[in-house]
Copies of this chain bind each other. A is one copy, B any other.
Amino acid sequence: MRLKILVFITLCITQVNITRADMASLPSWKDSAARQDIVSFVASVSDESSPDFVPASERIAVFDNDGTLWSERPVYFQLIFAIDRVKALAAQHPEWATTQPFQAVLEDDMDALAASGEKGILQLIMATHADLTTDEFTKIVKDWLATATHPKFGRPYNELVYQPMLELLDYLRVNGFKTFIVSGGGIEFMRPWVEAVYGIPPEQVVGSSIKTKFEYRDGKSVLVRLPEIDFIDDKAGKPVGINKHIGRRPILAFGNSDGDLQMLQWTAAGDGKRLMGLVHHTDAEREFAYDRKSHIGKLDAALDQANRDGWTVVNMEADWSEMYPPE
Interface residues, chain A, CB within 8 Å of chain B? 57, 60, 134, 178, 180, 187-188, 191, 195, 201-205, 209, 211-214, 220-223, 230, 236-237, 239-240, 243-248, 262, 265-266, 269
A203-B178, A247-B202 in contact; A213/B187 too (CB < 8 A)? no
Q: From B202, B209, B248, give the contact of A246 (CB < 8 A).
A: B202
Chain B residues lying within 8 Å of A191, measured Cβ to Cβ, are 247
Number of copies: 2
Chain B residues lying within 8 Å of A209, measured Cβ to Cβ, are 244
A262 to B220, CA, bound (A): 12
Q: Is A57 touching B266 in the complex (CB atoms < 8 A)?
A: no
Chain B residues lying within 8 Å of A243, measured Cβ to Cβ, are 134, 212, 223
Chain B residues lying within 8 Å of A247, measured Cβ to Cβ, are 187-188, 191, 202-203, 205
A211 to B231, CA, bound (A): 11
Q: Is A221 touching B239 in the complex (CB atoms < 8 A)?
A: yes
Q: From B204, B220, B230, give the contact of A203 (CB < 8 A).
A: B204
A262 to B216, CA, bound (A): 11
A211 to chain B, nearest CB (A): 8
Q: From B195, B214, B230, B239, give the contact of A57 (CB < 8 A).
A: B195
